[in-house]
């Protein structure tokens, strides 16, 4: 595709205890390509991004590899894992669950440890030069993972991220289920706004795009909370785009901007 290759892999995950899949776009004519991770949103798999986001043309032009993992463990046989579209299968929320029933839901450790270790076995990838981005639940994941591991990622971006999940229904449902009865005491470590308030690391560059017609803007996303918390601590560009919604049409519209943003910070020539 555009001179590069879209390759889908399957492996047995140690962290999650099941088979996991992920897709990598390898750009053409690059011996060791910097990596941008893309974390998808609720109900999605790696294939939503690969087929709908339109990232490959720009990634090929810039010489970036784009890695798209799945959004949760699958087929664990946990009672209730397929009952809701916003919890369980397809809704791992990029955290490490502590409630006994859900302890195999360890997407945070999978994304930050197991997946990069696996990618290091691919000589075409430069995992040490990496950025991370995501959409909605995946935007939440990208922001929180970058803020908790600021030396592992040189840039972070998000499309319509869930910025303050401890204060909105999607996040509260996920945290209560995955973290147990006392979730309020530990959930701040997975809330980008709370992490930004306490942040004292390097001033990471952050790009966020949200649509004014996003149906979840006021009820679930709250980008203004993150903007306020990050002021003076992170290099945040947060854009409100007139008329755009929560869909992949919006993601595709601004994808080139996000890849160019990451390229500016992670390509060796940018160092």
Question: How confident is the model over 228-254, as pLDDT tens digits?
Answer: 999 999 999 999 999 999 999 999 999
SS3 176: helix
List, by residue number, the catalytic residues: 136, 214, 246
Helix (H) or strand (E) holding 170: helix 169-179
Fold of 5-270: Rossmann fold (3.40.50)
CA 119 distance to own-chain centroid: 17
Q: Could you tell me the pLDDT band of residue 271, with boundaries at 50, 70 and 90? A: very low
Which residues touch 121 (CB under 8 Å, ≥6 apart)?
none
- Taking phi first (over 0 means left), then psi (-120 to 50 degrees means alpha), and beta for anything else, what does residue 126 get? beta
**Owner of token pair 């030396």:** 151
Residue 66 near residue 263 (C-beta atoms within 8 A): no
pLDDT in the model for residue 70: 98
Mind listing the pLDDT tens digit for each residue in 121-176?
999 999 999 999 999 999 999 999 999 999 999 999 999 999 999 999 999 999 99
Alpha-carbon distance of 270 to 255, in angstroms, equals: 20
Closest listed residue to residue 44, CA positions, set 112, 92, 103: 92
Mind listing the pLDDT tens digit for each residue in 169-209?
999 999 999 999 999 999 999 999 999 999 999 999 999 99
Would the pTM of this model clear 0.95, i.e. be above it? yes
């Amino acid at each position: 595709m555009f001179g590069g290759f879209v390759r889908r892999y399957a492996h047995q995950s140690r962290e999650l205890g099941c088979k996991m899949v992920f897709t990598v776009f390898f750009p053409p004519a690059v011996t060791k390509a910097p990596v941008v991770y893309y974390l998808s949103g609720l109900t999605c798999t790696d294939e939503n991004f690969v087929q709908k986001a339109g990232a490959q043309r720009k990634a090929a032009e810039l010489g970036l590899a784009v890695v798209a993992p799945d959004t949760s463990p699958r087929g664990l046989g946990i009672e209730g894992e397929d009952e809701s579209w916003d919890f369980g299968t397809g809704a791992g929320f990029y955290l490490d669950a502590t409630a006994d029933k859900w302890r195999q839901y360890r997407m945070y450790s999978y994304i930050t440890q197991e997946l990069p270790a696996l990618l290091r076995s691919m000589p075409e990838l430069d995992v040490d030069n990496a950025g991370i981005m995501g959409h909605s639940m995946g935007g939440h994941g990208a922001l929180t993972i970058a803020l908790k591991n600021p030396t592992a990622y040189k840039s972070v971006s998000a499309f319509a991220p869930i910025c303050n999940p401890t204060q909105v229904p999607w996040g509260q449902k996920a945290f209560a289920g995955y973290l147990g009865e006392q979730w309020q005491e530990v959930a701040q470590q997975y809330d980008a706004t709370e992490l930004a308030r306490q942040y004292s690391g390097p001033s990471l560059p952050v790009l966020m795009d949200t649509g004014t017609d996003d149906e979840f803007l006021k009820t679930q996303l709250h980008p203004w909370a993150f903007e306020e918390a990050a002021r003076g601590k992170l290099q945040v560009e947060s854009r409100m785009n007139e008329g755009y919604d929560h869909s992949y049409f919006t993601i595709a519209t601004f994808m080139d901007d996000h890849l160019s943003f990451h390229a500016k910070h992670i390509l060796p020539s940018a160092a």
